[in-house]
Structure formats: C-alpha cells, structure tokens
C-alpha cells in the first residue's frame, strides 16, 4: 500500500497520464500480480456487494499480465492509456463514483478476469 496525497492537495498527480505512469512504474519495478488506485470508500463499496472480495478495483487497475483492456470487447467505457495492462474505470479521476467502480468490477467479472 502506498499512501498518496489527496486529490485536492496534488491534482496534477491525479491526471490520467501521471497516474498511469505511477502504476506502470510499480508494475515494471516490483512485478506485482495486482495494483489498484482506489480509496477505502471504494473498497468498502465493493465489500458490501460481495463480502469475499480478494482484489478490489479502483480508478486505475492492473490484475496481472493476462488482464488487458483488449480482453474486454464491447466495453467502450473502459479506457486503456498507453499501457494496455492498465484499465481505467473512467478517464478523469474527479468523475469516479461508487457506481463507476462497481461497473468496472462487473465488467471484469463478466469477462472472466476477476472473481
């Protein structure tokens, strides 16, 4: 877990291009099987819908090498910028809602990429 400054304190960090750079750097240097840019609130919203959530999703999500935005055909709401391993729930952090996060979760489950 990495604690980032709040959006109001570091809006530039929350620009899509910078967020993807941060997540991609974590993937490339640490080799994790899962990375998500989420909040406690969004994680809790997912827990309330399905108690056995192992991998929460967030604004930016990476679920391993086999999960790419291209693996979600027909879901134009997913956005994969530059690094196809990274999936954004929406392009702009300021527009993320609980429903956006839950929609991404449902999409990944339906595509067989998340359980």
Domain that holds residue 43: 5-111
pLDDT (0 to 100) of residue 30: 93
pLDDT (0 to 100) of residue 88: 86
pLDDT (0 to 100) of residue 83: 67
pLDDT (0 to 100) of residue 110: 81
Q: How many domains does the chain have?
A: 1
pLDDT (0 to 100) of residue 11: 95
pLDDT tens per residue across span 70-109: 666 555 456 666 666 788 888 899 999 999 999 888 888 8
Q: Taking a C-beta distance cutoff of 8 angstroms, is the pair 36, 64 a contact?
A: no
* Residue 13 scores a pLDDT above 60: yes
Q: Taking a C-beta distance cutoff of 8 angstroms, is the pair 59, 93 a contact?
A: yes
The helix (run of H) or strand (run of E) holding residue 99 is helix 98-110
Closest by alpha carbon to 111, among 80, 81, 66, 79? 66
Region 57-66 average pLDDT: 85
CA distance 32 to 7: 25
pLDDT tens per residue across span 38-56: 999 999 988 876 656 678 8
26 burial via Cβ count (<10 Å: 0-12, 13-18, 19+)? middle
């Amino acid at each position: 877990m990495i604690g980032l400054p709040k959006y109001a304190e570091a809006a530039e960090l929350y620009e899509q291009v910078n967020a993807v750079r941060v997540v991609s750097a974590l993937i490339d240097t640490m080799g994790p099987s899962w990375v998500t840019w989420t909040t406690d609130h969004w994680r809790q919203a997912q827990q309330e819908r399905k108690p056995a959530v192992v991998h929460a999703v967030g604004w930016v999500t990476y679920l391993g090498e086999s999960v790419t935005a291209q693996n979600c055909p027909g879901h134009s709401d997913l956005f994969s910028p530059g690094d196809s391993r990274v999936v954004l729930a929406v392009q702009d952090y300021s527009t993320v809602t609980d429903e956006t996060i839950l929609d991404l979760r449902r999409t990944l489950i339906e595509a067989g990429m998340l359980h």
